[in-house]
Amino acid sequence: MSTAQTIHDILVDSLSPLRLDVIDESHQHNVPPGAESHFKLVVVSDVFEGKSLVARHRMINGLLAEQLAGSVHALGLHTHTPDEWAARGEQVPASPPCRGGSKAEGGH
């Protein structure tokens, strides 16, 4: 099973999201083809009601601890309640460009 599918399944099972986008952005970074190392997640869930942004991110990082300890190098997290998602126009934010560099230079 791909890393993206594993992430998807874990978050669906744990958060029952109304919307979930697992976007593999690895191709935008200096990694080998097929690396599945950089992801952007858009998660809209009632579970986030009353939770701070930090608490939401910690929740997801905890759920994905095994992946983060393995092949996943970076997660861009966009976590919203349904009302917050509607207020932002249900728009997926653009990711910043990779800052480049080689692995030897400390790049991603």
**CATH number for the domain running over 3-91:** 3.30.300.90
What are the DSSP E strand ranges found in the chain? 19-24, 38-44, 74-80
CB proximity list for 47: less than 8 A, separation 6 or greater: 15, 16, 59
Q: Is 64 helix (H, G, I), strand (E, B) or coil?
A: coil
Where is average pLDDT lowest: 21-25, 54-58, 103-107?
103-107
Computed over every residue of the chain, the mean pLDDT equals 86
Domain boundaries, the chain: 3-91
Q: What do you get for the CA distance between the two ends of the chain, in Å?
A: 24
| Phi, then psi, of 44 in degrees rounded to 5 | -115, 120
| Phi, then psi, of 13 in degrees rounded to 5 | -65, -35
Which tens digit of pLDDT belongs to each residue from 71-86? Answer: 888 899 999 999 999 9
